[in-house]
Amino acid sequence: MGPIDQSEALHRRARAFIEASLGVDGAGSAGAGRAAAASPPQGRGERGALPETFDALAIALARHQAAHCAPVARLFEARGADVAAMDHAAQIPAVPCDVFRFARVAAHPPEADERVFRTSGTSLGAASRGEHPFRTTATYELAALAWGERLLWPDGARLRAIVLAPPLHEAPDSSLGFMIDRFAARLSGPASWHVRGGELDAAGFARACAEARASGEPALVLGTSFAFVHWIEHLIEARLPEGAARLPEGSRVMQTGGFKGRSREVPAEELRASIARALGVPLSHVVSEYGMTELSSQLYEGTLAAALAGAPGAAPGLYLAPPWTRVTAVDPETLAPLPAGAIGLARIVDLANVDSAVAIQTADRVRVTAEGVELLGRASGAPPRGCSIAIDQMLGGGA
């Protein structure tokens, strides 16, 4: 079996794991997750046993990537990692996010790319944008829709999409734009985008909110944190009356992204409160997302899903990972796993990352507990020493 056929077989295994873990159908409808925010217990989905263990699939992906992606192979060799002897995903060396800026991290040739997602380059400039090539986006789409539905519209509500981000045709290499485009298609209601040509379309956003009020149809507003900041500043400067952008009952918001490379930062709770007040939605219905170009899966706060299920209030700032990912805090120097509750750098094993790197090492500081993943900001300055060494190893340097 050739590398492409091997990849296709691994994608089928990854999609089967995702479907079984949430009880979704082949189209990605996470119907079984409508009443709960938490992931099902590890090892069993809501429709029965998983087709294989998390660790077995992670190691199979790592074996394929080490065999067909030179940077991954160099990292494994430098670490003395023998994939044939591995029995746990924690043994897989994690690829630092920065490597995606310096090398092609893909187990297939460029001519097989279906799509390439690129980082924004906000902190280091466009010339330093990282790239994540995809041979197929089918697994990415299934993962995004399954977990998005479970945490953003678990009630199955018909929602219109109002987007504070560029449309996909203006940013075809944006993983966020791709995900939002798929969300809008799945929701099947009216959809509109209100960042055009790099400019906020405040008037169009106001019209979309007014149309939602007139129809009584709730909306899912999706956008970047910085776009929301610009929009709120516009409301203040224009001295619009309170309630000018109020949305119908049942509306909710997904905000994502920080302020990396920007001149202004707004505390998370201040921004959440401002969004909720301006749009007339409960605080629980403003959900933050955590994702990155180098991953194929996303994490969300569980506040909305818990509120809709009538469950005890989930804490804002705690992110829920889908059952096909595993988030661990690791020591910045040694990259060794830390005990639950300790603060370290996020290491993420993502079973939807079939053709690149199943294990990713971030520079994001986290605290991981049974309740979720608490984000504590990026490590400041240069890459932490453990990440820096791993980058050097992947690019052919010494240990």
Average per-residue pLDDT in the chain? 88
Q: What pLDDT band is residue 107 in, cutting at 50, 70 and 90?
A: very high
- Please report the DSSP string for 74-113 in residue order: HHHHHHT--GGG--SGGGSPPEETTHHHHS---SS-GGG-
Residue 123 has pLDDT above 60, yes or no: no
The pLDDT value recorded for residue 307 is 96
* Beta partners for residue 134, in sequence order: 115
The pLDDT value recorded for residue 87 is 94
Q: What is the signed CA dihedral for 159, 225, 367, 117, rounded to 10 degrees?
A: 80
The average pLDDT across 287-315 equals 94
CB 346 within 8 A of CB 290: no
CB 21 within 8 A of CB 50: yes
Taking the C-alpha atoms of residue 379 and residue 66, their distance in angstroms, rounded to an integer, is: 28
Find the range with the poorest average confidence among 235-239, 282-286, 368-372. 235-239
Residue 90: phi and psi, rounded to 5, are: -65, -20
Taking the C-alpha atoms of residue 52 and residue 43, their distance in angstroms, rounded to an integer, is: 8
Strand 199-200 to 195-196 pairing: antiparallel
The average pLDDT across 229-253 equals 90
The average pLDDT across 15-28 equals 76
Taking the C-alpha atoms of residue 346 and residue 279, their distance in angstroms, rounded to an integer, is: 33
H or E stretch covering 130: none
**Percent of all residues in the chain with a pLDDT value above 90, rounded to a whole number:** 76
The average pLDDT across 106-119 equals 97
The pLDDT value recorded for residue 122 is 52
Taking the C-alpha atoms of residue 394 and residue 399, their distance in angstroms, rounded to an integer, is: 10
Residue 35 has pLDDT above 80, yes or no: no
Highest average pLDDT, of 40-44, 117-121, 384-388, comes from: 117-121
The pLDDT value recorded for residue 34 is 30
Residue 261 has pLDDT above 50, yes or no: no
Q: What pLDDT band is residue 380 in, cutting at 50, 70 and 90?
A: confident
Residue 354 has pLDDT above 80, yes or no: yes
The pLDDT value recorded for residue 121 is 66
The pLDDT value recorded for residue 42 is 37
Q: pLDDT tens, 170-182?
A: 999 999 999 999 9
Displacement of CA 180 from its chain's centroid (Å):
11
The CA radius of gyration of the chain, in Å to the nearest whole number, is 21
Residue 254: C-alpha distances to residues 58, 150, 151, 211, 396 (Å): 29, 13, 10, 19, 40
Find the range with the poorest average confidence among 3-7, 37-41, 192-196. 37-41
- Please give the DSSP secondary-structure letter assigned to residue 135: S
The pLDDT value recorded for residue 359 is 98
Strands (E), the chain: 44-45, 48-49, 95-96, 115-118, 131-134, 160-164, 191-193, 195-196, 199-200, 219-224, 252-256, 286-290, 299-301, 318-320, 325-330, 343-350, 359-369, 372-378
The pLDDT value recorded for residue 38 is 41
The pLDDT value recorded for residue 310 is 92
The average pLDDT across 86-98 equals 96
